Amino acid sequence: MNPCPCGNYGSRTKQCRCTPLDIKRYLSRISGPLLDRIDMHIEVESIPPERLADETESESSDSIRQTVEAARAIQRERYREEGITCNARLSAKNIQRFCRLDKDARELMNTASEKMGLSNRGYTRVLKVSRTIADLADSRDIKTDHISEALQYRMIDDKYWR
């Protein structure tokens, strides 16, 4: 969704025309409990036309697809006896089993959870996304950098909804 009716609130390149009341009313259309059910909240700036025509090499779709397919294969193998196909389907019991954190990662999660005011649901969503990030990195364990990246996907909440 856009951050406001005109779509420019928070933009670095365009001026927002909305009043604070307009913005508050617009953002209140999505509730906290609904936000909690969305795994990743990311902000995407519009791309200037000159960058759209940029011919700089970037990672190919084929390469990205191979990485994702490898991560999905890891998940299928990990959960084959559980009747689960991917990290998003983990139950609370399975999260405890498959998303174990070492001391540093647990401390980071606890500190971030407290500072960000994560609900229990938000906390488990971050763990599931961290598990996926670890799988994409072909890492057996969830590390602090995987937790940090997953937490970044929830930072937009603080900017617009808190």
| Nearest one of 87, 89, 83 to 128, comparing CA atoms | 87
Largest separation between any pair of C-alpha atoms in the chain: 54
Burial class of residue 60, CB neighbours in 10 A (0-12, 13-18, 19+): exposed
The CA-based angle 26-12-18, given to 5 degrees, is 30
Give the tens place of pLDDT for each residue, 26-65. 988 888 888 888 888 888 887 777 877 777 778 889 999 9
Give the tens place of pLDDT for each residue, 88-141. 999 999 999 999 999 999 999 999 999 988 999 999 999 999 999 999 999 999
Q: Where are the domains of the chain?
A: 61-160
- Rounded to the nearest integer, the mean pLDDT of the chain is 90
pLDDT band at 161 (very low <50, low <70, confident <90, very high): low
Point out the least confidently predicted range of 13-27, 53-67, 70-84, 93-107.
53-67
Alpha carbons 156 and 162: distance in angstroms, whole number: 10
Alpha carbons 95 and 68: distance in angstroms, whole number: 21
pTM score of the predicted model? 0.84
Provide the 10 A C-beta neighbour count for residue 156: 16
